[in-house]
Amino acid sequence: MTPFTIDIPQSDLDDLRERLTRTRWTPQLPGDGWDRGVPADWLRDTAEYWRTGYDWRAREARLNEFPQFIEEIDGLGLHYLHVRSPEPDALPLILAHGWPNSFVEFARTIPLLAQTFHVVVPSVPGFGFSAAPRTTGFGIGAVVAMYGRLMERLGYDRYGTQGGDLGAYVAPELARLHPDRVVGVHIDGGFGFPTEDDVPGMTADERAEWDLMQQWMSGGVDHHALLRVAPQTFGHGWHDSPVALLAWHAQKFQEFSMSDQPLFDVIDRDLFLDNVSLYWFTKTAATSSWPMYEGLAGAADRPRFEWPKGQKAVPSGVYAGGSALMRRLAERDNTITHWPEGNPGRHHFVAMEEPAAHVADIRAFYAGLR
């Protein structure tokens, strides 16, 4: 296990500022607000702050306060944070980040979680400082196998899992693969989302709820379809232009907000730029697209987006549960022991927005499983 320190070359910082300075700005299209995508004025202002106000070196130093390592597993270098609790008998907890995110997603929750847990935060292969998959066919199962081996090498034979977004696929699969080791699965949300296969068995009220869900799901850019078809094509632009990368992340973070408030009233601006900067400096905008072009689709004869699969091997809990319909469907495929109502949160990446509430909920779930 090789200790790792983030140390972006100064030449890369200078190159970023030069590229931002030379941006060829697109004119604003007709429309109001974000109706046509990221507004030109918003993007210009944010890029200028990234160029002249944002301090990567200070943010880099804060991230380096977390002990980091590189471990070779299955031929790939896996980057991870390992923050031990002062309590020697603390339960280990592995955190699985989402897309388009990174270990930065948990930067505000790790210090709080480490008071109760031994915290392990891997960077998904192809994200951040983890090596990218070298072949096609790399999926969630490969990530889960690597994470299981990592926990074994760290000496943890009993641990919990937590994740949201992409992490909501990884966390339950770890329990499925290692039911003798994983004591519980906690996700941000996603248990019990209905599919077309569930529609025939719905009541009239549930069908109305399904129709509303379809309206919500159809909004925004379908990144699953876009990256399933042409990740290389779009990756060229994100790899070459920091403003293109910034706009793409802004588009998705805005769509992932469940609030009408400005994005930076919900997600801290510097924290958002930490994540964008990490993608830029590690050149992973394209390599992180594998979950969409082959990892989260169904079988070959059903190439469509699918929700995480349930498991009943260990208890499951969720930060934001959902309706009675979702609870019914969640209990069909999971052993739900934690389904709170009223937890605060206006964004898909709740750990970035509500770190204290997120940590409190994780603690509450695992308190009954020790």
Residues of the chain with pLDDT below 70 are: 218, 295, 297-304
**Backbone region of residue 345 per phi and psi (left: phi > 0; alpha: psi in -120 to 50; beta: other values):** left
Range of the domain at 168: 2-200+214-367
208 occurs within a structural domain = no
**Is residue 206 one of the residues assigned to a domain?**
no
- CA dist 73 and 350 (Å) reads 30
Strands 182-187 and 117-122: unpaired
Q: Are 174 and 95 in contact (CB under 8 A)?
A: no
Is residue 209 domain-resident?
A: no
Instruction: Please say whether the beta carbons of 362 and 93 come within 8 A.
Output: yes
pTM: 0.95
The CATH number given to whatever domain includes residue 269 is 3.40.50.1820
The torsion angles phi and psi of 310, rounded to 5 degrees, stand at: -80, 170
DSSP type of residue 9: -
Dihedral class, residue 247 (left if φ above 0, else alpha if ψ from -120 to 50, else beta): alpha
Q: What are 143's two structure tokens? A: 């990530």
pLDDT at 304: 61
Structural domain count of the chain? 1
Full DSSP string of 83-122: E--SSTTPEEEEEE--TT--GGGGTTTHHHHTTTEEEEEE
pLDDT digits (tens, 9 = 90+) for 176-219: 999 999 999 999 998 888 889 999 999 999 999 988 888 777 67
What is residue 45's DSSP assignment? H
Residue 22 vs residues 26, 44, 51, 241: alpha-carbon distances, Å: 13, 12, 11, 10
Domain membership of residue 88 (yes or no) is yes
pLDDT, one tens digit per residue, over 14-24 is: 999 999 999 99
In a domain, 207, yes or no: no
